[in-house]
C-alpha cells in the first residue's frame, strides 16, 4: 500500500518566513473574494496579524480592487492606525473594526469582512444562520449578531462592541451591513467567510421556496464538532489557494 500524505498547516523556522506566508495567503484571499464577487466599491477588508508585532496587522490598501492585490501591495498598520509599511492608506473602518477584534481575541490571526450580497441580505433580516444544511452547522451556536446599526464604523468604540458581539465565536452577522469571520489562520478566516456567504444564500433560497426542515439540535451540535473546527476551515481553503495561485501567479509578486 502506498503511504498517503495529508495536508497539514505549515511550520516555520523564522518570523520572516511566517510573515511572508501570511501575506501570500492574504493576497490570495483577496483574489478569491474578487472571484466570488464579494467586492462592493471600496468596502471590505481582510486582516492578518503580524507574527512578530502582535498588535499590528497586514491589510489591503484602501480603494484598490481585491482583484489586483499583490503581496507587495499589502500594508502594515500599527495599533494606533498608522501605516508603518507600504505606501497606501488604510480604510478607516478596517482599522476601527479589525484592531478591536485582534485586541479582544488573541487566538485570532485573521479577520475577514465584506459586503457580499447574500450576507448583507440575511443581515437585513436581523436573523442568525439556522442549522438547515450540513455546511451551515459549521456556524451552529458559533456566530453572533451585532444588532445595532449606527452608520459606517469609524470609531474604535464601535469596533469594541462588534468584538463583544463576536464573543468567542468564529463569525458575527452585522445587522444591515454584512458578515465578519475570524480564524486561527488567514486560510480559515477566508474559508469561513466564503462558506458563510454561501450558507446565507442557501438559507434565503430555501426559505423563499418553502418550509425548511431543521437539523435537530443534537445532530446540529454533532455536525458542528465535525465541520466547525478551525483545521477544517484551513483545509477547505487549500484547494482554492492552489487554484487561484495557478490562475493568477502575479498575486505572489
Ligand atoms: Zn463594512
pLDDT digits (tens, 9 = 90+) for 77-95: 999 999 999 999 999 999 9
Quote the cell numbers at residue 97: 473594526
Looking only at the bridges linking them, the beta strands covering 143-146 and 171-174 are parallel
Report pLDDT for 153.
80
Q: What is the mean pLDDT of residues 241-246?
A: 98
Spacing, Cα 96 to ligand 1 middle (Å): 11
Q: What is the mean pLDDT of residues 210-215?
A: 98
Q: Is 20 exposed, middle or buried (0-12, 13-18, 19+ CB in 10 A)?
A: middle
Starting at the earlier edge strand, list the strands of the sheet with 171-174: 83-85, 75-77, 57-59, 45-49, 110-114, 178-183, 171-174, 143-146
> Is the model's pLDDT at 1 over the cut of 90?
no
pLDDT digits (tens, 9 = 90+) for 139-194: 999 999 999 888 888 888 999 999 999 999 999 999 999 999 999 999 999 999 99
Q: What is the mean pLDDT of residues 21-27?
A: 98
Spacing, Cα 117 to ligand 1 middle (Å): 12
Spacing, Cα 205 to ligand 1 middle (Å): 23
* Side-chain half-sphere exposure of 156, counting CA atoms within 13 A: 8
Spacing, Cα 202 to ligand 1 middle (Å): 22
Spacing, Cα 94 to ligand 1 middle (Å): 8
Among 183, 186, 29, CA closest to 108: 183
Spacing, Cα 211 to ligand 1 middle (Å): 31
Spacing, Cα 186 to ligand 1 middle (Å): 19
**Bridge partners, 46 (sequence order):** 112
Spacing, Cα 184 to ligand 1 middle (Å): 21
pLDDT digits (tens, 9 = 90+) for 218-232: 999 999 999 999 999
Report pLDDT for 154.
81
**How large is the greatest C-alpha to C-alpha distance in the chain, in angstroms?**
60
Q: How far apart are CA 237 and CA 46, in angstroms?
A: 15
Report pLDDT for 178.
97
Spacing, Cα 174 to ligand 1 middle (Å): 9
Report pLDDT for 150.
85
User: Distance of alpha carbon 148 from its chain centroid, rounded?
Assistant: 21
Q: How far apart are CA 242 and CA 253, in angstroms?
A: 16
Spacing, Cα 27 to ligand 1 middle (Å): 19
pLDDT digits (tens, 9 = 90+) for 100-130: 999 999 999 999 999 999 999 999 999 999 9
DSSP per-residue codes, 208-245: HHSPPPPPPHHHHHHHHHHH-SHHHHHHHHHHHHHHHH
Number of H helices, E strands in the chain: 7, 8
Spacing, Cα 115 to ligand 1 middle (Å): 6
Length of the chain in terms of residues written = 253
Q: How far apart are CA 89 and CA 98, in angstroms?
A: 15
Distances (CA, A) of 77 to 48, 94, 136, 157: 10, 10, 33, 18
Query: What is the pTM for the complete model shown?
Result: 0.97
Spacing, Cα 149 to ligand 1 middle (Å): 11
> Is the model's pLDDT at 196 over the cut of 90?
yes
Report pLDDT for 14.
98
Spacing, Cα 12 to ligand 1 middle (Å): 33
pLDDT digits (tens, 9 = 90+) for 26-70: 999 999 999 999 999 999 999 999 999 999 999 999 999 999 999
Spacing, Cα 97 to ligand 1 middle (Å): 9
Amino acid at each position: 500500500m502506498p503511504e498517503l500524505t495529508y495536508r497539514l498547516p505549515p511550520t516555520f523556522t523564522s518570523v520572516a518566513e511566517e510573515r511572508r506566508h501570511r501575506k501570500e495567503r492574504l493576497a490570495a484571499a483577496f483574489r478569491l473574494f474578487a472571484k466570488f464577487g464579494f467586492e462592493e466599491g471600496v468596502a471590505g477588508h481582510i486582516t492578518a496579524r503580524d507574527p512578530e508585532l502582535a498588535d499590528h496587522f497586514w491589510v489591503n490598501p484602501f480603494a484598490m480592487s481585491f482583484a489586483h492585490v499583490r503581496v507587495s501591495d499589502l500594508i502594515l498598520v500599527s495599533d494606533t492606525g498608522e501605516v508603518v509599511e507600504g505606501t497606501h492608506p488604510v480604510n478607516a473602518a478596517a482599522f476601527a473594526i479589525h484592531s478591536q477584534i485582534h485586541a479582544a481575541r488573541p487566538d485570532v490571526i485573521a479577520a475577514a469582512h465584506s459586503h457580499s450580497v447574500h450576507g448583507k441580505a440575511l443581515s437585513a433580516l436581523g436573523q442568525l444562520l439556522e442549522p438547515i444544511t450540513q455546511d451551515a452547522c459549521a456556524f451552529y451556536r458559533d456566530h453572533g449578531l451585532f444588532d445595532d446599526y449606527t452608520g459606517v464604523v469609524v470609531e474604535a468604540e464601535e469596533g469594541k462592541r462588534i468584538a463583544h458581539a463576536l464573543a468567542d465565536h468564529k463569525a458575527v452577522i452585522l445587522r444591515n451591513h454584512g458578515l465578519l469571520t475570524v480564524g486561527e489562520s488567514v486560510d480559515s478566516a477566508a474559508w469561513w467567510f466564503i462558506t458563510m456567504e454561501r450558507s446565507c444564500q442557501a438559507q434565503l433560497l430555501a426559505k423563499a421556496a418553502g418550509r425548511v426542515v431543521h437539523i435537530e439540535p443534537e445532530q446540529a451540535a454533532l455536525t458542528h464538532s465535525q465541520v466547525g473546527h478551525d483545521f477544517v476551515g484551513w483545509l477547505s481553503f487549500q484547494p482554492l489557494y492552489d487554484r487561484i495561485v495557478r490562475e493568477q501567479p502575479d498575486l505572489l509578486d
